[in-house]
Structure 1
Amino acid sequence: MTEHSVPAVDAADLVRQNRALSQQLDEALAQIEDLRHGIEALHDVGIYTYRHPLENAVAYKDQLAAIAAEVKAQIEDGRAIEVSTRFTFDNSLAKGRKMTADLAKLMLRAYNAEAENCVRYVKAGNLDGAEKRLTRAATAIARYAAMMEMQISPAYHQLRLRELALTADYQMKVQEEREAEREERARLREEQQAERELAAERQRLEKERAHYAAALAALTGEGRDDERQDLTARIDEIDQRIADNDYRAANIRAGYVYVVSNIGSFGQGIVKIGMTRRLDPMDRVRELGDASVPFGFDVHAMFFSDDAVGVEAELHRRFAPNRVNRINLRREYFYTTPAAVKRELDQIAGNILQFVNYPEAEQFRSSEQIRARETESTEMAAAE
Structure 2
Amino acid sequence: MRVALVASLAWHDYRADSRLSACAVLALVAVIAPLLVLFGLKFGLVGSLTERLERDPAVREVIPMGGGRFSAAFIDALAQRPDVAFALPRTRQIAATADLSMEGLDRAVNVEMIPSGVGDPLLGNVLAPTDLYSVILSATSAEKLGAKAGDWLEASFSRQMAGQLQAQRTRLHVTAVLGLEAFGRDAIFAPLALLAAVEDYRDGLAVQAFGWPGDAPTADEQRVYPAFRLYARSLNDVEPLRVYFAARNQLVSTQAQTIAQVQSLSRNLSIVFWVIAALAVVGAVAAIFAGALAAVARKRRDLSVLRLLGFSTGALLLFVVLQALYSGVLAALISVLLYSVAESGLNHLFVQVPGEHASHLLLRHYVIALSGVLGASVLAAALGGWRVARIEASEGIRDV
**TM-score (structure 2 length as normaliser):** 0.27
Name the structure where strand makes up a greater proportion of residues.
2
Name the structure where helix makes up a greater proportion of residues.
1
Tell which has more relative contact order, 1 or 2 (C-alpha 8 A, sep 6+): 2
